[in-house]
A and B are shown apart, each in its own frame.
Chain A
Amino acid sequence: MMMLKDTYSAEIEATLAKYPPENKRAAVMPLLHLAQRENGYVTKSALYEIADLCGVAVTEVASIMGFYTLYHDQPGGKYRLQVCTDLPCALRGANEFLEQLCANVGVKVGETTADGMITIEAVTCLAGCNKAPMFQVQTGEGLEYYENQTVESAVALINDLVKR
């Protein structure tokens, strides 16, 4: 079985060192981020390993994963395209943008394309409200913001991502 410790031992050490030794539990969230970077979602085995590293029960790590929306316990599309539809963005056409984008790509909000590449989701404010319509693209490795978007620019981006 692939262990995080084998690949990321230095990073795990550095993460644990950020917190007082008697509060290792504080490393749960950073280690979940690390695990997710590896696969785009947190695997069962990573869950057990993190519980072990931080000295907490597996169920507690699982409940933390459930509470925070950025963690995923299921593989999604390779790229999660998350459009903000909160009030300030909605006042600048975010709902219409999302609707047209979905129609263009041929999925409903929350669905993944048949090739497993793109999931389109609606999310809450991303602190880019002045540049709506905007979205973030979440991948295993990280996050990127795309602001002042049009349906055309978003579709072009998707075509680009699929080719990568």
Chain B
Amino acid sequence: MAEHILLRHRDIPNIDRLEVYRQQGGFEAFQKAVASLTPDAVTDIVKASGLRGRGGAGFPTGMKWSFTDRKNWPHYVVCNADESEPGTFKDREILTGNPFQLLEGVAIASYAVGARVAYIYLRGEFWPIARELDKRIAELEAAGLLGDKLFGTEYSLRIYTHLGAGAYICGEETALLESIEGKLGQPRLRPPFPPAVGLFGKPTVINNTETLANVPLILQRGAEWFRSFGTEKSPGVKIFSLSGCVNRPGNYELPLGTTFRELIMGRGGGIAYGHKIKAIMPAGNSSSLIVATDEALNTPMDYESVPKLGAQLGSASVIVIDDSVDIPWLINKTVHFFRHESCGKCTPCREGTYWMSQLTERIAAGHATAEDVALLKAVAGQIKGKCFCALGEFSIEAVLSGMDRFKDDFEAKVSSYE
């Protein structure tokens, strides 16, 4: 097995201790950046690496950093550790297993955009993890790696943790900013985007935990090294969170462009209990349902290939569905989640997820007529393209793709009732 780049705690025992992390060259990249590189030079290296955001949208990270408005100060960096998408459990492993690499990534990003304060926003359930991070930040301050006038320069940096309190929508970057500001976690109108107007009205770069954990090694080993993994358009490795009906669920760090088959049948040990694979959801609960044909299984998991299957790579939280699973039951589950998590700000999402959940409940229970199924499709159609943020759009992905691609499952439900 190749050495891990992100899940390095699996190769190097005790890398969650500062002295061990430093023995591995930890914080040399940050020191080098602050002491001898300009912020723009750091951003250019990240741009050249082709690193794309791992939080779902795959936006080029270096480009995002370069958008920070230089006429408006101070700047902030926010690390998104809200990790609440059902099927996603990769950031939690980084935060607990390899926390100093993340902290160094936050520090380097902060230097690159001129931020002197950075926040790590963790979901409320990660309270014990936040407490550990606070201790580690204190260690870094004691070691002179964070704090005032770092490495004999004028650059100062403080990192703080901030805890959410149970709201999926706070993973959306502008709702997250509202939440730090002590408000309801409801999205803001965009544009302006956070690099122009973000936290406390100031330019802010928000990146996912996994995205930032890539940064120290990119600086240490170079953009070319990073590009030696993955594909032309999706360079690097990705942590795939594999869950559902597989023998070995878990996090797998693999090059982008690895096929679904390699992940599910190879690493994941195939389908459990002798069942056959039926569907794949590559982006957690927010995903379209992919019919698990041979062609689909042979598709590379990267930002450019997955859309050809009518889905998105998203956070690469691969949920495997076997042939014992009833698709109406499944979409009732996904819709129930979105109904629960809708922030209530806009009508199509708030009302639409409510009506969809009423209908999917009935359909899943086998108490629905063909009209109910048609109505479900109509309601989903009313939500599509009309929501204030992406949560509403996510709520119909499994519904519409499920109804379209697994018609038999719905017909069986309805005809057995009529």
Residues of chain A at the chain B interface (Cβ within 8 Å): 18, 20, 23, 25-30, 32-33, 54, 56, 63-64, 67-71, 86-88, 90-92, 124-132, 136, 142-144
Contacts and interface: CB of A to CB of B under 8 A. Distances in A.
Contacts, number: 133
Interface string B40-82: 0000000000000000000000000000000000000000000
A54 B181 CA distance: 11
Interface of B: 83-89, 91-92, 123-128, 160, 162-168, 179-185, 200, 241-245, 249-251, 284-285, 319-321, 325, 330, 333-334, 337, 340-341
Given A70-B124, A86-B337, A129-B249, A124 B243 contact: no
Contacts of B163: 29-30, 33
Given A30-B162, A87-B337, A124-B168, A67 B86 contact: no
Contacts of A144: 128
A130 B86 contact: no
Interface centre among B125, B167, B182, B320 (most CB of A within 10 A): B182
Contacts of A88: 86-87, 243-244, 284, 319
Given A92-B243, A130-B251, A143-B128, 8 more contacts: A26-B182, A30-B163, A56-B182, A86-B333, A88-B244, A125-B87, A125-B88, A127-B92
Nearest to B76: A20
Contact of B162 (A29, A69, A128, A130): A29
Interface centre among B84, B86, B245 (most CB of A within 10 A): B86
B325 A91 contact: yes
A33 B125 CA distance: 11
29 contacts: A20-B200, A23-B181, A25-B181, A29-B162, A29-B165, A56-B182, A64-B182, A67-B184, A70-B166, A86-B86, A86-B285, A87-B87, A87-B244, A87-B333, A87-B337, A88-B86, A92-B244, A92-B245, A92-B249, A125-B84, A125-B87, A125-B285, A127-B84, A127-B89, A127-B91, A127-B125, A129-B88, A136-B125, A142-B127
B319 A91 contact: yes
B167 A130 contact: no
Given A87-B337, A124-B340, A130 B127 contact: no
A33 B337 contact: no
Contacts of B123: 127
Interface centre among A26, A64, A71 (most CB of B within 10 A): A26
A25 B199 CA distance: 13
A124 B86 contact: yes
A19 B84 CA distance: 25
A21 to B, nearest CB: 11
A81 B23 CA distance: 41
A91 B167 contact: no
A68 B168 contact: no
Contacts of A28: 182
Nearest to A61: B182
Contacts of B83: 127
A130 B333 contact: no
B245 A130 contact: no
Contacts of B181: 23, 25-26
A57 B245 CA distance: 49
Nearest to A84: B86
Contacts of B334: 87
Please provide the 9 A-B residue pairs with the shortest distance between their CB atoms, ordered closest to farther. A68-B165, A69-B166, A28-B182, A130-B249, A70-B166, A125-B86, A88-B243, A25-B182, A70-B165
A70 B125 contact: yes
Contacts of B337: 86-87, 124-125
B249 A127 contact: no
A142 B132 CA distance: 13
A122 B244 CA distance: 18
A23 B182 CA distance: 9
Interface centre among B185, B244, B284, B334 (most CB of A within 10 A): B244
Nearest to A71: B165
A60 to B, nearest CB: 8
Interface centre among B123, B333, B341 (most CB of A within 10 A): B333
